[in-house]
Amino acid sequence: MAHPFLPLLLEPAELEKHLGAENLLVVDMNPADVYNKAHIPGAVHLDYAQIVAARPPAMGALPSEARLSDVFSAIGMTPNSHVVAYDNEGNGRAARLLWTLDAVGHPHFSLLNGGLPAWLEENRPVSGEPTKKPRSEYRAKLSGAAVADKDYVLSHLQDQTVALLDTRSPGEYSGAVKRAARGGHIPGAVNFDWVNAMDPNRNLRLRDAEALRAELARLGVTPDKEVITYCQTHHRSAHTYIVLKALGFTNIKGYPGSWSEWGNRDDTPVE
């Protein structure tokens, strides 16, 4: 669900028209030094580390409801806020925030297509003044619909109606590049490197929707299936999760444990 006027994938020109609108909360997920230099006017800063929890071996776990409630209250978020998130590195951090909002059932959010680079490239207004919103009392409640844990993935390995989408590099997927005790991928997973969704000639905006749908379909990833995305810490795969949502997929989950959990255990099967 989006605001009557804001789609999930939001173009900079469209956002600029709505800056300052009631209930609009623009969230900058860049490092603090980038934010302090230039950000979208009115955007609040949120540090990526605030929205992930390290529970070794899982390094990209979901924080607790209490922690998320505190983090969202600190940026002044309310149940009516329409959150627009962006960063400067392909929107992976921004997408992880939006996936987290999906995980707590927050219905109103958008990804700024192309992020800060697209905004700057088009000479849109920027500010160097930090924005502080009055603290709110946000109550985050994890609903589970957007989240797959290790046991959920294990129990669906043989399920033909579920597609596992590994969004790491081909080297990580094959096991040539090892970032955990074991290399390889979850059995049955197909590989779609998250950067393949981005158009390098358009400030890393998402590529043409039809082309993306066709590419995913060739991998067996179609909207009639439940799709579970994962990477190393559910940073890259959170981006792919939002891409799928933007393409009209409705049954998607992210696996926050991802390979940092799966590849570092000795009781999970590896291909």
| Residue 104 to residue 125: CA distance in whole angstroms | 32
Residues 13 and 110 in one domain: yes
Q: 104, 121, 138: which is the final residue of a domain?
A: 121
Q: Report if residue 37 sits inside a domain.
A: yes
pLDDT digits (tens, 9 = 90+) for 181-225: 999 999 999 999 999 999 999 999 999 999 999 999 999 999 999
Average pLDDT over residues 2-23: 89
- Encoded tokens for 193: 């490197």
| 161 plus 246 within the same structural domain | yes
What's the pLDDT tens digit per position in 21-52?
999 999 999 999 999 999 999 999 999 999 99
Token digits for 82? 């329409």
Sort 187 into a burial class: Cβ within 10 Å, 0-12 / 13-18 / 19+.
middle
> In this structure, is residue 1 part of a structural domain?
no
Question: What share of the chain has pLDDT > 70, as a percent?
Answer: 99
Tell whether 201 is covered by a domain: yes
| Residue 23 within a domain | yes
For 94-149, how does the pLDDT look when each residue is reduced to its tens digit (9 = 90+)?
Answer: 999 999 999 999 999 999 999 999 999 999 999 999 999 999 999 999 998 999 99
Catalytic residue list contains 78: no
Within a domain: 126 = no
Domain of 258 in residue numbering reads as: 150-262
Catalytic residue among 51, 71, 83, 231: 231
pTM for the structure as a whole: 0.97
Tell me the average pLDDT of the chain.
97
Last residue of a domain, one of 121, 136, 170: 121
Is residue 255 within 8 A of residue 228, CB to CB? The reply is yes
pLDDT at 5 (0 to 100): 72
- CA max distance for the chain: 53
Same domain assignment for residues 36 and 106: yes
Task: Please give the Cα distance from 43 to 20 (Å, whole number).
Answer: 10
Task: Name which of 3, 18, 27, 21 is nearest 107 in CA terms.
Answer: 3
Query: Which domain CATH number covers 27?
Result: 3.40.250.10
- Domain final position from 106, 121, 136: 121
pLDDT score of 1: 41
SS3 sequence of the chain? CCCCCCCCEECHHHHHHHCCCCCEEEEECCCHHHHHHCECCCCEECCHHHHCEEECCEEEECCCHHHHHHHHHHCCCCCCCEEEEECCCCCHHHHHHHHHHHHCCCCCEEEECCHHHHHHHCCCCCECCCCCCCCCCCCCCCCCCCECCHHHHHHCCCCCCEEEEECCCHHHHHCCCCCCCCCCCCCCCEECCHHHHEEHHHCCEECCHHHHHHHHHHCCCCCCCEEEEECCCCCHHHHHHHHHHHCCCCCEEECCCHHHHHCCCCCCCCC
Structural domain tally of the chain? 2
